[in-house]
Structure 1
């Protein structure tokens, strides 16, 4: 491995696929420019299904990948609610507290999640000393929630006025984990609605995307 390849891999710009023995671009590349988005099969398949869910809920539905300590929006669809989240492709959310970020973490293999959690702890302690225990507990609760229900929630954890559900997408071909969310203002979107309708529909959306991409 060359020094350049090693460095790009450490930064997340290159991801090694053990199945093929080749490298592919990681999602942090998207923060440098979005021209590569058109080549992402998952985005092309996901968009009409995301819009369908956005139309049903009246809220925002987004697809994202990890960019270091954040999640970056790769696609976003909006419903017809007069009050929606003002986020679009290229927007960043906190990895540790957003529904999308928690879903991403929940979708990682245990060893990979543990290694990333160590980095997140150091990052959070550097920025906001003393907050990590609460943040960690929220992540661990989300991981358990995903294992039990297939989704996880963020109720005012990312921003006090925002509630959302998140579901990871773990591609079968070893590509990087992605995540979907569906969320909106907390005064419009309550936990019961998320749990009884929006979150299960988001789980089904991810299942349908996987079925189309892998013909199952």
Structure 2
């Protein structure tokens, strides 16, 4: 888990203790169950004595429940209430549900909507049947931005400066693995410009293929992104390009209209965005 940047640490308005407490809560993943101080310390990159004080405080505040038998903690209802309150305020989750269900039934794929969580996309709505994906994902699950169709669609929906900043973060985060990921992101920029959707076929999970489309709103929130995925033997590249992708684009544009969102850009605007974005991606790595 990423520590606060030097800029944040020297910001007089930035409360480091609060940031660290939230990092402890973020360390719990949907399928974790119980975590001990040592496991939390490893995930947050914080010293174990600091973690001990933070888990003690969060327990007193009712955000963690101690399980003395195992010397571990689990999220308490107060912590989960924060997540449920956030979900309740995401109108896009509720409004998109019938659209997602329709595309799921038409394609047989899993259809999800998510937003950015640092270097990941976090699911806050999903429609699937039991046969859609070998990798079972639920609301609250995280998938990588760099290698998934949902994440790549999000990247190409960002303004150029924000996209370049995120690419630098991803480059620093992944190190030697970044070059291959960067190539996949740049290829996705081309498919977004040409077709309106990003693709990931075996880049995240070798047996999963998916398309992703960004949702842009004019209320200052987002962007968010949708995906539709299935086992790779079912979603071939030809099917992704000629059927699944166009269906997802149409779905998202309808949701934008229903939410009072932004009208889709012209092909000329999208092509210009892709060219500028690709240049910024290279500049972010010092490649001219």
Normalising TM by the smaller chain, what interval?
Answer: 0.7 to 0.9
Partner-residue secondary structure (3-state), 1:206: helix
Q: Which has the higher contact order (CA 8 A, sep 6+)?
A: 1
**Are 2:173 and 1:123 aligned?**
yes
**1:191 counterpart residue number:** 237
Q: Assess if the C-alpha contact under 8 Å between 1:71 and 1:93 holds in 2.
A: yes
How many equivalent pairs are there?
192
Partner-residue secondary structure (3-state), 2:101: helix
Picking from 137, 145, 150, the partner of 1:87 is 137
Query: Runs of 5+ in structure 2 lacking a partner?
Result: 1-10, 23-78, 264-288
Looking at secondary structure, tell me which structure has more strand per residue. 1
CA distance in 2, matches of 1:5, 1:213: 35
TM-score (norm 1): 0.81
Picking from 151, 156, 171, the partner of 2:202 is 156
Shift of 1:81: 3.8
**1:100 counterpart residue number:** 150
Shift of 1:44: 1.3
Moved more, 83-92 or 135-144: 83-92
RMSD over aligned Cα atoms: 2.5
Partner-residue secondary structure (3-state), 1:134: helix
Query: Runs of 5+ in structure 1 lacking a partner?
Result: 12-28
**1:20 counterpart residue number:** none
Q: Deviations over 1:127-159 (max 9, x none)?
A: xxx221111111111112102210010010001
CA distance in 2, matches of 1:5, 1:147: 41
Aligned ranges for residues 11-30 of structure 1 at < 5 Å? none
**Are 2:220 and 1:174 aligned?**
yes
CA distance in 2, matches of 1:48, 1:198: 17
CA distance in 2, matches of 1:4, 1:62: 33
Question: For residues 35 and 121 of structure 1, do their structure 2 counterparts lie closer, same or farther at Cα, with a shift above 3 Å needed?
Answer: same
CA distance in 1, matches of 2:100, 2:129: 10
CA distance in 2, matches of 1:176, 1:114: 17
CA distance in 2, matches of 1:43, 1:214: 15
CA distance in 2, matches of 1:82, 1:201: 17
Question: For residues 192 and 211 of structure 1, do their structure 2 counterparts lie closer, same or farther at Cα, with a shift above 3 Å needed?
Answer: same
Shift of 1:107: 0.7
* Rg comparison, structure with higher value: 2
**2:105 counterpart residue number:** 55
Partner-residue secondary structure (3-state), 1:172: coil
**2:84 counterpart residue number:** 34
Shift of 1:212: 0.7
Q: Deviations over 1:5-47 (max 9, x none)?
A: 8997xx9xxxxxxxxxxxxxxxxx99x6233212211111101
CA distance in 1, matches of 2:222, 2:133: 32
**1:203 counterpart residue number:** 249
Q: Assess if the C-alpha contact under 8 Å between 2:124 and 2:140 holds in 1.
A: yes
Question: For residues 55 and 5 of structure 1, do their structure 2 counterparts lie closer, same or farther at Cα, with a shift above 3 Å needed?
Answer: farther
CA distance in 2, matches of 1:190, 1:170: 28
